[in-house]
């Protein structure tokens, strides 16, 4: 790890300490105890799913898979990290790296899952209800007020220089995977083999990815969160959509690319270029004080123009927008905040915690805020051919080019996704 990243991390932890101290004063509490959480075994089984630690814990401690750990923060003192690392001959106990962040904490290794002894005026933050009842009964603190959660979430929305460096590195490594996935597709690989090529090139195992990679060939590219990997390569290759990331020190990349295969109609490649241009044009409009909803609306306007220009809609862009046609071609939001969680926290609350819901016409929009420096946002326009969304347009007799849509259905759809930092004067594309 580079010295500069590690020193940025020390400053990141120091600024968290200052922020948490301001919250303890504001809420009149002695301490905040963050619980990392733990996995639960499958029903009637002794096997566990892959575990991801609570985001506010990972905000401090770069151990994104650490279970049964606690971090207790109090004013004017080093935070205490209760590190669950029991002697175990079945598993390797959590190992600490030789990195300076360890010196920022008093580290106490614990071998059982009993919670730490904290003062009664300690706010407990995390999935406390998942603890067995007898352990919950031992906990002295108080349930954290909802407003404390909002304040902690709000801090996560504004990335420190350390977090931005992690997100940039996560992007770099994810791009290694995307290059390998593209090569595998042009080598006629199956979805499973594309997935394996992605994991190999980005150097990660499946339990470490920040979200399950979406690797859709042909019509599967039109299933927004397609969750399988066909083992056999299809006979015809129309398209590939890869939505896949990387988790670096707890921070997620979330990137999507779409490719036209040898069996796609030529208009599909043109549409990929057009959606890529929408992505770039929207990114150029990103800056502090811009409302994300306005960018989402801009994406729909450009998409309407693309549908008209490529002969998919016989009418004007205004008519396409008014009739809600672009929402059938792109039913998800333009993007979301990105950080420790792929769909990061605080996307739909104002800075003081007031709810800021998505408008009823765009229920899937995950970010309704005004952009500010330090936010890291995905921009992911799409254009899909999803029969269940297009069929109602046919029923309404709208002037769409159904012959062309039939030709494009086997291609599934297109999504192009980059990760962008808002800077004081504009933006910095972490994917570029």
344 touching Mn ion, by CB under 5 A: no
254 touching ligand GLY, by CB under 6 A: yes
Mark 248-267 with x for binding to Mn ion (rule: CB under 5 A) and - for no binding: ------x-x-----------
Nearer to ligand GLY, 246 or 313 (CB): 246
* Residues within window 149-208 making contact with Mn ion, judged by CB under 5 A: none
21 belongs to an annotated ligand binding site: no
Give the nearest distance from C-beta 386 to ligand GLY in angstroms.
16
Alpha helices in 28-145 (DSSP H): 55-60, 133-138
Residue 39 touches which of Mn ion, ligand GLY, none (Cβ within 5-8 Å per kind) = none
Half-sphere exposure of 46 (CA within 13 A, CB side): 0
Nearer to ligand GLY, 193 or 417 (CB): 417
Nearer to ligand GLY, 12 or 247 (CB): 247
Residue 122 touches which of ligand GLY, Mn ion, none (Cβ within 5-8 Å per kind) = none
The conformation of residue 349, written as its DSSP 8-state character, comes to B
Mark 342-381 with x for binding to ligand GLY (rule: CB under 6 A) and - for no binding: x-------------------------------------x-
Residue 211 touches which of Mn ion, ligand GLY, none (Cβ within 5-8 Å per kind) = ligand GLY
Nearer to ligand GLY, 62 or 333 (CB): 333
Structure tokens at 194: 């594309």
318 belongs to an annotated ligand binding site: no
Give the nearest distance from C-beta 367 to ligand GLY in angstroms.
11
Residue 193 touches which of Mn ion, ligand GLY, none (Cβ within 5-8 Å per kind) = none
Of 65, 82, 149, nearest in space to 118 by CA: 82
Give the nearest distance from C-beta 212 to ligand GLY in angstroms.
9
243 touching Mn ion, by CB under 5 A: yes
380 belongs to an annotated ligand binding site: yes
Of 45, 80, 85, 55, nearest in space to 68 by CA: 85
Q: Do the bridges between strand 251-260 and strand 376-379 make them parallel or antiparallel, or are there none, so unpaired?
A: unpaired
Give the nearest distance from C-beta 267 to ligand GLY in angstroms.
25
Nearer to ligand GLY, 9 or 52 (CB): 52
Q: How many other β-carbons are positioned within 10 Å of the β-carbon of residue 39?
A: 15
Contact between residue 255 and residue 241 where contact means Cβ atoms under 8 Å apart: no
Cα separation of 178 and 256, whole Å? 8
Structure tokens at 4: 């500069």
Cα separation of 190 and 212, whole Å? 17
Q: For residue 385, what are the contacts with CB-CB under 8 A and spacing of at least 6?
A: 222, 329, 405, 408, 409, 411, 412, 413
378 touching Mn ion, by CB under 5 A: yes
Using alpha carbons, list the distances in angstroms from residue 407 to 135, 240, 266.
Answer: 60, 16, 10
SS (H, E, C) 292-303: HHHHHHHHHHHH
Contact between residue 34 and residue 56 where contact means Cβ atoms under 8 Å apart: yes
Nearer to ligand GLY, 81 or 272 (CB): 272
Helix pair 3-27, 161-186: axis angle to 10 deg: 120
Q: Which residue in this structure is represented by tokens 């044009």?
A: 281
193 touching ligand GLY, by CB under 6 A: no
Of 186, 340, 316, nearest in space to 249 by CA: 340
Structure tokens at 383: 């254009």
Give the nearest distance from C-beta 327 to Mn ion in angstroms.
18
182 belongs to an annotated ligand binding site: no
211 touching ligand GLY, by CB under 6 A: yes
Query: Which of 169, 243, 344, 418 forms a contact with ligand GLY (CB under 6 A)?
Result: 243
Give the nearest distance from C-beta 244 to Mn ion in angstroms.
8
Cα separation of 8 and 12, whole Å? 6
223 touching ligand GLY, by CB under 6 A: no
Residue 389 touches which of Mn ion, ligand GLY, none (Cβ within 5-8 Å per kind) = none
Nearer to ligand GLY, 116 or 177 (CB): 177
352 belongs to an annotated ligand binding site: no
Cα separation of 430 and 52, whole Å? 24
Contact between residue 99 and residue 61 where contact means Cβ atoms under 8 Å apart: no
Helix pair 3-27, 146-157: axis angle to 10 deg: 150
Question: Under rule CB under 6 A, how many of the chain's residues touch ligand GLY?
Answer: 6
Which residues are documented as binding site?
243, 254, 336, 380, 417
Note the residues at the interface with ligand GLY (CB under 6 A).
Answer: 211, 243, 254, 342, 380, 417
Which residues are documented as binding site for Mn(2+)?
243, 254, 336, 380, 417
Note the residues at the interface with Mn ion (CB under 5 A).
Answer: 243, 254, 256, 378, 417
């Amino acid at each position: 790890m580079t010295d500069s990243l590690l020193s940025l991390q020390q400053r990141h932890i120091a600024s968290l300490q200052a922020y948490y101290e301001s919250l303890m004063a504001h809420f009149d509490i002695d301490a905040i105890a963050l619980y990392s959480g733990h996995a639960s075994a499958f029903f009637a089984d002794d096997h566990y799913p892959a575990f991801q630690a609570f985001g506010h814990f990972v905000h401090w401690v770069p151990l994104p898979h650490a279970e049964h750990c606690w971090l207790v923060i109090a004013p004017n003192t080093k935070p205490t990290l209760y590190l669950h690392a029991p002697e175990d001959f079945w598993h390797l106990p959590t190992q600490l790296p030789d990195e300076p962040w360890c010196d920022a904490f008093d580290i106490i290794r614990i071998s059982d899952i009993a919670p730490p002894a904290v003062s009664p005026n300690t706010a407990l933050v995390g999935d406390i209800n998942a603890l067995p009842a007898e352990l919950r009964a031992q906990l002295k603190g108080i349930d954290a007020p909802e407003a404390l959660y909002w304040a902690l979430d709000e801090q996560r929305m504004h990335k420190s220089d350390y977090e931005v460096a992690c997100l940039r590195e996560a992007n770099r490594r994810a791009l290694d995977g995307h290059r390998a996935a593209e090569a595998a597709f042009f080598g006629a690989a199956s979805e499973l083999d594309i997935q394996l090529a992605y994991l190999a090139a980005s150097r990660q195992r499946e339990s470490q990815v920040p979200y399950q990679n979406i690797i859709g060939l042909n019509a599967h590219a039109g299933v927004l969160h397609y969750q399988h990997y066909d083992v056999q390569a299809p006979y015809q290759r129309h398209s590939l959509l890869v939505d896949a990331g990387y988790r670096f020190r707890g921070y997620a990349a979330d990137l999507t690319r779409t490719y036209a295969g040898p069996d796609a109609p030529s208009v599909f490649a043109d549409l990929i270029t057009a959606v890529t241009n929408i992505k770039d044009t929207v990114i150029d409009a990103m800056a502090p004080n811009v409302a994300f909803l306005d960018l989402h609306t801009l994406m729909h306007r450009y998409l309407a123009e693309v549908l008209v220009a490529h002969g998919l809609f016989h009418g004007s862009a205004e008519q396409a927008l008014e009739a809600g046609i672009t929402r059938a071609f792109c039913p998800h939001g333009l993007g979301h905040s990105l950080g420790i969680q792929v769909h990061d926290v605080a996307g739909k609350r104002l800075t003081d915690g007031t709810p800021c819901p998505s408008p009823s016409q765009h229920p899937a929009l995950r970010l309704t805020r005004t952009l500010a420096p330090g936010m890291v946002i995905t921009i992911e326009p799409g254009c899909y051919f999803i029969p269940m969304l297009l069929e109602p347009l046919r029923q309404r007799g709208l002037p769409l080019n159904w012959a062309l849509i039939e030709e494009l259905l086997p291609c599934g759809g297109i999504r192009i996704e980059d990760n962008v930092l808002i800077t004081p004067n504009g933006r910095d594309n972490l994917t570029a």
